[in-house]
């Protein structure tokens, strides 16, 4: 299992390379003294469709009307964002629930505060899927045994979900050779034959399908019904010192999630502002769900799968972690 120290090393890298300066661990920056002042909060995100509501909410003024301005910094995955939030580099972050459970199980002081994104729950129509190259002999998740499969972060949510797909297809997940690769690097790697399959999410998924790739499994659907995939979170320290800012962020994010769910065309347009994905690809992407509340039963199911895969030495306390 990836250890906490490794994660903190990634966090240190993010601190060193972030385009934005940090005001330190305690509070948000740029807080004006006037009653109409604005508080700028730094948010660690991943350049994928999942976080479109934040960009939309900023554009629509849901944050500014509550006196907040978001400053977004991107990372490859939630495992890298967690140490950034704990160290104070970011006031808030977006992370899959497995990364948050791993952190909480290791007594890292994180607190989920708002829902992030959920699976559609429909095989064949989800925003995440295992894809193989055109003409591949691999037809199901069972066929992944002995093959090289890319996931964005090892020993995390996508690996756990793929392993469950393999189990449900009658295969042995311990025989799969998982390799770590950023989502935006997966299309080229699959096209060149450097990997046999990839667990991709949008917009990388549609990019790969455009190259002729074929979907053979939908791991987020297999992991649990209507799976809550990711959430927005902060450190327990920041939450205790800045409850008013946290409340404003929660309210604005809830409004942003609802707006994104109701305006799919605007979601596709906003994604083009923070990724390099062509509009022709974005027009075809399968959007996830952005429900207002997390699905606790799905998180509990994911926790059990993670325990089966040996991710936790100590089970996470979901009552402390979740809102």
Could you tell me the residue ranges of all domains in the chain? 4-119+227-321, 128-223
pLDDT of 38: 92
Cα dihedral 213, 219, 225, 226, rounded to 10, equals -60
Tens of pLDDT, residues 138-166? 999 999 999 999 999 899 999 999 999 99
pLDDT digits (tens, 9 = 90+) for 163-187: 999 999 999 999 999 999 999 899 9
Summarised one tens digit per residue, pLDDT across range 46-105 is: 988 999 999 999 999 999 999 999 999 998 777 789 999 999 999 999 999 999 999 999
Nearest to 310 by CA among 127, 201, 174: 174
pLDDT at residue 36 in the model: 54
What would you measure as the largest C-alpha separation in the chain, in angstroms?
65
The tens digit of pLDDT for each residue in 206-265 reads: 999 999 999 999 999 999 999 999 999 999 999 999 999 999 999 999 999 999 999 999
Q: Beta-carbon neighbour count of residue 322 at 10 Å?
A: 20
> Can you identify the CATH homologous superfamily of domain 4-119+227-321?
Periplasmic binding protein-like II (3.40.190.10)
Q: Residue 18: pLDDT above 60? A: no
CA angle 77, 82, 86 (to 5 degrees): 160
pLDDT score for 192? 95
CATH code assigned to 128-223: 3.40.190.10
- The CA distance from 305 to 80, in Å, is 22
Q: Say what the pLDDT of residue 132 is.
A: 98
Which of 290, 306, 283, 268 has its CA nearest to residue 209? 283
- What predicted TM-score, i.e. pTM, was given to this entire model? 0.85
Does pLDDT of 11 surpass 80?
Answer: no
Tokens in use for 57? 């909410």
């Amino acid at each position: 299992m990836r250890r906490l120290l490794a994660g903190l090393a990634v966090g240190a890298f993010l601190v060193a390379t972030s385009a934005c300066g940090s005001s330190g661990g305690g509070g948000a920056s740029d807080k004006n003294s006037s009653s109409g002042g604005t508080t700028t909060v730094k948010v660690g995100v991943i350049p994928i469709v999942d976080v479109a509501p934040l960009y939309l909410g900023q554009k629509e003024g849901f944050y500014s009307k509550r006196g907040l301005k978001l400053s977004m910094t991107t990372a490859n995955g939630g495992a890298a964002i967690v140490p950034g939030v704990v160290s104070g580099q970011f006031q808030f972050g977006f992370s899959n629930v497995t990364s948050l459970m791993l952190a909480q199980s290791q007594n890292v002081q994180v607190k989920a505060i708002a829902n992030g994104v959920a699976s559609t729950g429909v095989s064949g129509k989800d925003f995440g899927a295992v894809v193989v190259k055109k003409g591949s002999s691999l037809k199901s998740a069972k066929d992944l045994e002995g093959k090289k499969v890319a996931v964005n972060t090892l020993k995390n949510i996508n690996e756990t979900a793929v392993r469950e797909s393999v189990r449900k297809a009658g295969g042995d997940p311990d025989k799969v050779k998982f390799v770590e690769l950023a989502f935006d690097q997966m299309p080229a790697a699959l096209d060149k034959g450097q990997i046999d399959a990839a667990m991709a999410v949008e917009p990388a998924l549609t990019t790969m399908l455009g190259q002729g790739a074929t979907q053979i499994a939908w791991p987020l659907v297999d992991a649990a019904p209507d799976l809550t995939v990711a959430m927005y979170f902060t450190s327990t320290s920041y939450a205790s010192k800045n409850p008013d800012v946290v409340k404003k962020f929660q309210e604005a994010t809830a409004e942003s999630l609802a707006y994104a769910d109701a305006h799919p065309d605007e979601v596709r347009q906003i994604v083009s502002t923070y990724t390099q994905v062509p509009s022709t690809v974005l027009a075809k992407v399968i959007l996830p769900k952005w429900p207002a509340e997390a699905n606790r039963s799905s998180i509990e199911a994911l926790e059990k799968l993670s325990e089966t895969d040996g991710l936790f030495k100590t089970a996470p306390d979901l009552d402390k972690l979740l809102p």
